[in-house]
Structure 1
Amino acid sequence: MTNERRWADTSGLPPAPDATAKPVTLAHVARLAGVSENTVSRVIRDKGSIAPETRQRVNAAIEQLGYVPNRAAGSLASSSSLIIGVILPSLSNIVFPEVLRGINAGLSATPYRPMIGVTDYDLDIEHQLIASLLAWQPAAIITTGFDHTVGARRMLENSRVRVAELMDIDNAPIDLAVGLSHHEAGRAMAHHLVQRGYCNIAYVGHDWTADRRAHARYVGLCEGLAETGLSLVAECRTDQASSTLEGRKTLSNLLSGGVHIDAVAFSNDDMAVGGFMHCLAVNIAVPEELALIGFNGLEIGQVLPKPLTTVLSNRFAIGKTAVELLLAGVQRPDETVKIDTGFSIVEGATA
């Protein structure tokens, strides 16, 4: 057998550009398209009324010349750019890629593009990312939650850039908050379990230092139980980030305490799926011997042998709604706004 290499057919392409040539500029595009530089700029920024034929000529010239717009220079000229800064705590946690999908959907029909940073739940890293993004004079910055360093909050407040804080509405936003009340979601978990007849309810959770929203759900859960005259009979929490492995380990630790438990509320679906796997491994019948409820409504929980009972957060809608509201008004309003995207109980088959 002979080795065969496939190469791209370059016979019809123009010769490679001279490495010493000057970069293509807006003026080159304007000259080739037969329009003014201002017209080229408006086509690129999708601003103003442009005749379809003119737009086509400009786009053809851009493609022919391989012109790449200098966004930084444009921001200096107009005091704002087409950048939307997006700061997420994680991309390994499936919750946040779904929020990002919503953001991308909201931006898809606009000239704006996201510039993404990941904090790994570290507020100092968020502080650095906010400073870097503000240097680009973005049209808006999207962050997660209300927790920021004092310096980061001051930068956001003083910038007058539109700011959306996502996932939570239980505190006061800098500008716009889009999400759900995690406190109310915790109360709803408690009420659902009690209405199903469970009274010996325990809690399994993960690190609250990084995930303050999980703590808010725990507080809501406890208050919801208290409203029915109950309280948690046991609880066990790992100091690690949430994962299926930690959920399995932590439920095992909880059940080794010898307390009679008929239902467990988990801090999220990752932990609950791990708990379900522990029940399979040690032959605990779910929900007959032990009921389980999670939070987030992740797909993995719905493909278990018994679909997970959980609370669905509308993550895609959170991202898309935030972008649409930010771009609907480029000036920061005098009054802050909270948008509740809500949640719903997915009844499943585990509680």
Structure 2
Amino acid sequence: MTVSRVLRNRGDVSRATRERVLEAAKKLGYVPNKIAGALASQRVNLVAVIIPSMSNMVFPEVMTGITEVLDDTPLQPVVGITNYKPEREEKVLFEMLSWRPSGVILAGLDHSEATRAMLAATDIPIVEIMDVDGDPVDAVVGISHRRAGREMAEAIMKAGYRRVGFLGTKMPLDHRARKRFEGFTQALGKNGLEIIDQEFYSGGSGLAKGREMTEAMLSRTPDLDFLYYSNDMIGAGGLLYCLGKGMNVPDDIGLAGFNGVSLLNGLPKVLATMDACRQEIGRLAAQIVADRSIGKDSRHGNRIELSPSLSPGDTLRKV
């Protein structure tokens, strides 16, 4: 009975006895059968975390925030990757829910009808993350990407740029980039401006892709005075291309990305960007799941909108 209480992390057991039991289990190589325990509780101590990619530098930081919180609980995150594909998201969610996890954290608010139906039918905490521009199934933690796009456009116009090009992912695959694009173009339109040229790509973000896209756009439309990239990685590639061509950044041409990737701080110039609050989003989402798994309401509520901060770096003219 004592051993059972220790291994299930339940019951009133002294610290000394608990340590003796855990040490014996360690020496024996014993691993508790969580599935057997789940038959009684109908839940396992797993939190399904469903994200589009691990190659995109955004999501490892989200995972860091999630694990920081769950490390202090009996809950363990298990990750599923969707590759930005709705049908893949359905499959991953179906498989994970079949294990009866204690909660689900998944990226975005835009899902297929089948995915939303599965989420709505479950009685566990569901936290959609990264985006608040839409209607969540349950809880949501993120930023407004439309607002982020508007704020970047306003900063660009305030700095005196007028001929703007946009470079980014193909919108059907990246809903959050699409919403930033919508907010960006709306803000420009209110001031009588429009995007002069656009370049889209599919596949992972990368410096080489940013170089290629920037070269193609400036060859086609050489009189642009600002390039707005949907993420920092392709923006960094564009910056390296412009500097390699001897362009005066930011006086002759300005550039900005999105995500606030700290890895890029070693570039010759610091790229203008917006911090998407990734780690904080992960921490808050995990806290909601952890609190509700023990019957406690999160002190933050079920809708948390964070505010991204704009950093002009060295590629946006100071005003």
Same fold (TM over 0.5): yes
CA offsets 1:9-35 (integer angstroms, 9 cap, x no match): xxxxxxxxxxxxxxxxxxxxxxxxxxx
| Secondary structure at 2:80 match in 1 | strand
Q: Is the 8 A contact 1:75 1:136 kept in 2?
A: no
1:338 aligns with 2:309: no
1:220 counterpart (160, 166, 183): 183
Where 1:329 maps in the other structure, the secondary structure is helix
The residue number in structure 2 matching 1:132 is: 95
Structure 1 letter corresponding to 2:150: R
Q: Aligned-pair distance for 1:263?
A: 1.1
- Alpha-carbon separation, structure 2, partners of 1:236 and 1:209: 14
2:115 to 120, 135, 152: 152
1:40 is the counterpart of 2:11: no
**What corresponds to 1:287 in structure 2?**
250
**Map of 1:113 onto structure 2:** 76
Query: 1:180-199 to 2 correspondence within 5 Å?
Result: 180-199=143-162
- What amino acid is the match of 2:49? V
Contact 1:142–1:165 (CA<8 Å) still a contact in 2?
yes
Other-structure match for 2:52: 89
State the partner residue of 1:200.
Answer: 163
Q: Name the aligned partner's letter for residue 130 of structure 1.
A: L
**TM-superposed deviation, 1:233:** 2.4
- What SS does the corresponding residue of 1:160 show, helix, strand or coil? coil
Q: Which shows bigger deviation, 227-236 or 293-302?
A: 227-236
Question: 1:175: how far off?
Answer: 0.9
Q: Specify the alignment match of 2:217 in structure 1.
A: 254
Q: Which amino acid aligns with 1:214?
A: A
Query: Following the alignment from structure 1 to structure 2, what is the Cα–Cα distance between the partners of residues 332 and 53?
Result: 30
Deviations 1:121-171 (A, max 9, x none): 222222111111111111001111123232222111111121111111111
Provide the residue aligned with 1:18 in structure 2: none
In the alignment, which residue of structure 2 is the partner of 1:16? none
Does the 8 Å CA contact 1:235/1:254 hold for their aligned counterparts? yes
Q: Does residue 229 in structure 1 map to residue 192 in structure 2? A: yes
Identity %: 36
TM-score, structure 1 as length reference: 0.84
* 1:45-60 equivalences in 2 (<5 Å): 45-60=8-23
In structure 2, list runs of 5 or more residues that go unmatched. Answer: none
Please give the TM-score of this superposition, normalised by the length of structure 2. Answer: 0.92
Matched residue of 2:171: which SS? coil
Change (3 A) 1:279 1:75: same
| Corresponding residue number in structure 2 for 1:265 | 228
Q: Offset of 1:58 from its aligned partner?
A: 2.0
Alignment-mate amino acid for residue 50 of structure 1: V
Q: Deviations over 1:200-223 (max 9, x none)?
A: 222111222221111110001011
Does the CA contact (< 8 Å) of 2:126 and 2:137 recur in 1? yes
State which structure, 1 or 2, has the greater radius of gyration over its C-alpha atoms.
Answer: 1
Q: Distance in 1 between matches of 2:251 and 2:225?
A: 9
Moved more, 336-345 or 140-149: 336-345
2:136 equivalent to 1:169: no
